[in-house]
Protein backbone atom coordinates (compact mmCIF):
# COMPACT_ATOMS: atom_id res chain seq x y z
CA UNK A 1 0.00 0.00 0.00
CA UNK A 2 1.15 3.54 -0.63
CA UNK A 3 -0.34 7.01 -0.48
CA UNK A 4 -1.80 8.13 -3.79
CA UNK A 5 -3.12 11.60 -2.90
CA UNK A 6 -2.15 14.07 -0.22
CA UNK A 7 -4.18 17.22 0.37
CA UNK A 8 -2.97 20.43 1.95
CA UNK A 9 -4.96 23.63 2.22
CA UNK A 10 -4.45 27.25 1.24
CA UNK A 11 -6.76 30.10 0.34
CA UNK A 12 -4.71 31.74 -2.44
CA UNK A 13 -4.50 28.89 -4.93
CA UNK A 14 -2.67 30.95 -7.56
CA UNK A 15 0.12 31.78 -5.07
CA UNK A 16 0.21 28.15 -3.96
CA UNK A 17 0.49 26.98 -7.59
CA UNK A 18 3.38 29.36 -8.23
CA UNK A 19 5.21 28.27 -5.06
CA UNK A 20 4.94 24.55 -5.76
CA UNK A 21 5.55 24.78 -9.53
CA UNK A 22 8.21 27.51 -9.65
CA UNK A 23 9.82 27.02 -6.25
CA UNK A 24 9.72 23.25 -5.89
CA UNK A 25 9.54 22.30 -9.55
CA UNK A 26 6.42 20.14 -9.21
CA UNK A 27 4.51 19.22 -12.36
CA UNK A 28 1.20 21.05 -12.54
CA UNK A 29 -1.57 18.84 -13.97
CA UNK A 30 -4.61 21.01 -13.21
CA UNK A 31 -4.40 24.79 -13.16
CA UNK A 32 -5.83 26.56 -10.12
CA UNK A 33 -9.58 27.03 -10.15
CA UNK A 34 -11.89 28.13 -7.34
CA UNK A 35 -11.53 24.82 -5.44
CA UNK A 36 -8.09 23.37 -6.07
CA UNK A 37 -4.79 23.05 -7.88
CA UNK A 38 -3.27 19.63 -8.64
CA UNK A 39 0.32 18.37 -9.04
CA UNK A 40 1.77 14.99 -9.96
CA UNK A 41 4.97 14.02 -8.17
CA UNK A 42 7.86 11.99 -9.58
CA UNK A 43 6.59 8.77 -7.95
CA UNK A 44 3.14 9.31 -9.55
CA UNK A 45 1.57 10.36 -6.24
CA UNK A 46 -0.67 13.42 -6.38
CA UNK A 47 -0.47 16.59 -4.31
CA UNK A 48 -3.79 18.42 -4.19
CA UNK A 49 -4.14 21.88 -2.71
CA UNK A 50 -7.68 22.84 -1.77
CA UNK A 51 -9.28 26.07 -0.67
CA UNK A 52 -10.27 25.08 2.89
CA UNK A 53 -13.54 27.03 2.85
CA UNK A 54 -14.86 25.39 -0.33
CA UNK A 55 -13.52 21.89 0.44
CA UNK A 56 -15.35 21.79 3.77
CA UNK A 57 -18.76 22.66 2.32
CA UNK A 58 -21.30 19.82 2.30
CA UNK A 59 -22.95 18.65 -0.89
CA UNK A 60 -19.79 18.21 -2.97
CA UNK A 61 -19.44 15.08 -5.15
CA UNK A 62 -16.95 13.71 -2.58
CA UNK A 63 -17.20 13.98 1.22
CA UNK A 64 -16.29 17.39 2.59
CA UNK A 65 -12.92 17.67 4.32
CA UNK A 66 -10.51 20.25 5.62
CA UNK A 67 -8.02 21.26 8.27
CA UNK A 68 -7.47 24.34 10.37
CA UNK A 69 -4.06 25.91 10.81
CA UNK A 70 -0.82 25.13 9.04
CA UNK A 71 -0.05 21.55 8.06
CA UNK A 72 3.21 19.81 7.23
CA UNK A 73 4.38 17.91 4.18
CA UNK A 74 7.82 16.37 3.64
CA UNK A 75 9.11 15.59 0.17
CA UNK A 76 12.12 13.45 -0.60
CA UNK A 77 14.40 15.27 -3.03
CA UNK A 78 17.68 13.52 -3.75
CA UNK A 79 20.88 15.42 -4.53
CA UNK A 80 21.61 17.13 -6.90
CA UNK A 81 17.92 18.10 -7.31
CA UNK A 82 17.87 19.03 -3.58
CA UNK A 83 20.46 21.74 -4.22
CA UNK A 84 18.72 22.93 -7.39
CA UNK A 85 15.41 23.19 -5.53
CA UNK A 86 17.03 25.13 -2.67
CA UNK A 87 18.53 27.53 -5.22
CA UNK A 88 15.14 28.08 -6.94
CA UNK A 89 13.61 28.89 -3.55
CA UNK A 90 16.43 31.32 -2.75
CA UNK A 91 15.94 33.10 -6.09
CA UNK A 92 12.22 33.47 -5.29
CA UNK A 93 13.10 35.03 -1.93
CA UNK A 94 11.65 32.19 0.14
CA UNK A 95 12.96 32.29 3.71
CA UNK A 96 14.61 29.09 4.95
CA UNK A 97 13.06 28.42 8.34
CA UNK A 98 15.49 25.68 9.34
CA UNK A 99 18.28 23.64 7.76
CA UNK A 100 19.35 20.36 9.34
CA UNK A 101 22.24 18.03 8.57
CA UNK A 102 21.31 14.59 9.88
CA UNK A 103 24.48 12.75 10.93
CA UNK A 104 22.63 9.43 11.44
CA UNK A 105 21.81 8.89 7.76
CA UNK A 106 23.97 11.61 6.21
CA UNK A 107 20.88 13.35 4.87
CA UNK A 108 19.65 16.91 5.02
CA UNK A 109 16.34 18.61 5.69
CA UNK A 110 15.32 22.09 4.62
CA UNK A 111 12.15 23.67 6.03
CA UNK A 112 10.26 26.52 4.36
CA UNK A 113 6.70 27.87 4.54
CA UNK A 114 4.38 27.95 1.57
CA UNK A 115 2.13 30.99 0.96
CA UNK A 116 -0.58 29.50 3.25
CA UNK A 117 1.90 28.94 6.11
CA UNK A 118 2.17 25.16 5.71
CA UNK A 119 5.52 23.74 6.77
CA UNK A 120 7.23 22.21 3.73
CA UNK A 121 10.22 19.98 4.37
CA UNK A 122 12.60 18.95 1.62
CA UNK A 123 14.72 15.99 2.63
CA UNK A 124 17.34 13.82 1.08
CA UNK A 125 18.24 10.48 2.54
CA UNK A 126 15.93 8.41 4.74
CA UNK A 127 15.91 9.14 8.49
CA UNK A 128 13.34 6.47 9.35
CA UNK A 129 14.32 2.90 10.32
CA UNK A 130 13.30 0.19 7.88
Q: What's the pLDDT tens digit per position in 36-85?
A: 999 999 999 999 999 999 999 998 888 989 888 899 999 999 888 999 99
Alpha-helical regions (H) of 2-127: 13-18, 52-55, 81-91
Q: Which of 75, 53, 86 is nearest to 121 (CA)?
A: 75
Q: Is residue 62 part of a domain?
A: no
CATH number, domain of 92, equals: 3.10.180.10
Confidence of residue 93 (pLDDT cuts 50, 70, 90): very high
Cis-peptide into 120, omega within 30 deg: no
Model pLDDT, residue 39 = 98
Model pLDDT, residue 60 = 87
Write down the mean pLDDT value for the chain: 94
Number of compact structural domains in the chain: 1
Domain that holds residue 38: 5-57+67-124
Amino acid sequence: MRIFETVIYGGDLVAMAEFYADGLGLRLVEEPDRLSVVFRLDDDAMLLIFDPTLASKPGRPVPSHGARGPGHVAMRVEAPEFDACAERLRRLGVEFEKEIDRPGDGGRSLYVRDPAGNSVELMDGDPWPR
